[in-house]
C-alpha cells in the first residue's frame, strides 16, 4: 500500500507539474503574443504620428509659401505703388515755385508715412507673434480691422462662449485658415459685407464666415486653391469643414474644431 500510495503521489506531483508547465507555457505564449501586438500597436501609433507630423509640416510649409506670396503681392500692389507715387512727387519738384514744392514734399511725406504704416500692419499680420502675444481672438480682431481700414468692406467680428486657448501651432493654423478664407473673399467674392464669428462650446470651436458676394456653384471646382487648402488644414486639426453658397446671395463657411484633439489648456 505504501508503495502504491507513494507511486500515486509521484504520479499526482508529476501530473500537477506537467499541468503547471502547460499553464506556464500558455501564459508565456499569451504574454509573448500580447507583447508582439503591443509592439505592433506602438509601431502603428508611431507611424500614424509620423504621418500626421509630416502632413502638419507640409501644411506649415504651404502656409509659409502662401504667406510669402501675400507679402509679395501686398508690397507690389500697395506699398510699392505708394512709394512710386512719392518718388514721382519728388522727381517733379519745382524749386522755383516754393508753395508747389512744399505741397509736393508734404504729399510725399504723407504717402511714405502711409506706406510705412501699411508695411508695419503687414508685418504684424504675417508674424506668428500676433498669436503668441495676443491669442486667436485678438489676432482676428486685428485682421478684421485691417479689412475695415481698406474702406471696401463692412466687417462684423464677434466671439461668443468661454474662450479655450489651444496650443500655439493650432491657433496659428486656425488664424491662417481664416486669413485664407478672407483672402478668397477679397479675390473672388465681390462682397461688401463680411461676418466673422467664433463660438466656443464645451467641446468645439465653431468658426463661421459669411459674405454677401456673388457666390458660386459648390458642386463645381472651387475658385482658386484656397478653399481646398482650408479643407485640408481643417482635417489636419481633426475638424469638419462645410460650405454653402448661393449665386448673387453669398457664401457661408463653417469650420468645427474639437478641443480634445488639439492640446487645449484653459
Q: Locate 177 and state its grid cell.
A: 485658415
C-alpha–C-alpha distance, residues 218 and 30, integer Å: 54
Q: What confidence category does residue 11 fall into, taking pLDDT thresholds of 50, 70 and 90?
A: low
Domain 135-266: give its CATH code.
Answer: 3.30.565.10
Structural domain spans, the chain? 135-266
pLDDT at 42: 67
Query: What's the angle, vertex CA 65, arms to CA 63 and CA 66, rounded to 5?
Result: 65
Q: How many CB atoms lie within 10 A of CB 182?
A: 23
- The neighbouring-strand residues paired with 160 are 199
61-114 pLDDT, tens digit per residue, is: 665 656 666 666 666 666 777 777 777 777 777 777 778 778 877 777 787 777
pLDDT of 2: 47
Q: Taking the model in full, what pTM does it have?
A: 0.60
Residue 91 has what pLDDT?
76
Residue 209: predicted pLDDT: 97
What's the rounded mean pLDDT across residues 13-28? 62
Distance CA 52, CA 262 (A): 13
For residue 169, how many C-alpha atoms fall within 13 Å in the half-sphere facing its CB? 12
Q: Given a cut of 70, is residue 123 above it in pLDDT?
A: no
Q: Which residue(s) pair with 195 in the sheet?
A: 156, 210
Amino acid at each position: 500500500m505504501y508503495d502504491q500510495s507513494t507511486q500515486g503521489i509521484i504520479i499526482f506531483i508529476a501530473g500537477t507539474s506537467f499541468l503547471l508547465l502547460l499553464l506556464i507555457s500558455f501564459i508565456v505564449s499569451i504574454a509573448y503574443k500580447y507583447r508582439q501586438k503591443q509592439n505592433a500597436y506602438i509601431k502603428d501609433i508611431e507611424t500614424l504620428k509620423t504621418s500626421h507630423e509630416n502632413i502638419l509640416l507640409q501644411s506649415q510649409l504651404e502656409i509659409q509659401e502662401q504667406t510669402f506670396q501675400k507679402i509679395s503681392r501686398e508690397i507690389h500692389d500697395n506699398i510699392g505703388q505708394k512709394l512710386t507715387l512719392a518718388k514721382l512727387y519728388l522727381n517733379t519738384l519745382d524749386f522755383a515755385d516754393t508753395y508747389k514744392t512744399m505741397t509736393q514734399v508734404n504729399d510725399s511725406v504723407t504717402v511714405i508715412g502711409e506706406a510705412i504704416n501699411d508695411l508695419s500692419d503687414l508685418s504684424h499680420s504675417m508674424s506668428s507673434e500676433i498669436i503668441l502675444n495676443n491669442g486667436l481672438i485678438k489676432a482676428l480682431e486685428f485682421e478684421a480691422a485691417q479689412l475695415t481700414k481698406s474702406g471696401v468692406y463692412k466687417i462684423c467680428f464677434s466671439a461668443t462662449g468661454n474662450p479655450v486657448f489651444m496650443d500655439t501651432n493650432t491657433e496659428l493654423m486656425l488664424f491662417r485658415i481664416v486669413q485664407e478664407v478672407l483672402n478668397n473673399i477679397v479675390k473672388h467674392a465681390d462682397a461688401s459685407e463680411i461676418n466673422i464669428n467664433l463660438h466656443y462650446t464645451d467641446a468645439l470651436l465653431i468658426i463661421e464666415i459669411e459674405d454677401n458676394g456673388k457666390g458660386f456653384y459648390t458642386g463645381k471646382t472651387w475658385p482658386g486653391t484656397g478653399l481646398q487648402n482650408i479643407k485640408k488644414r481643417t482635417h489636419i486639426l481633426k475638424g469638419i469643414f462645410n460650405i454653402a453658397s448661393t449665386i448673387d446671395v453669398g457664401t457661408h463657411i463653417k469650420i468645427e474644431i474639437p478641443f480634445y484633439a488639439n492640446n487645449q489648456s484653459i
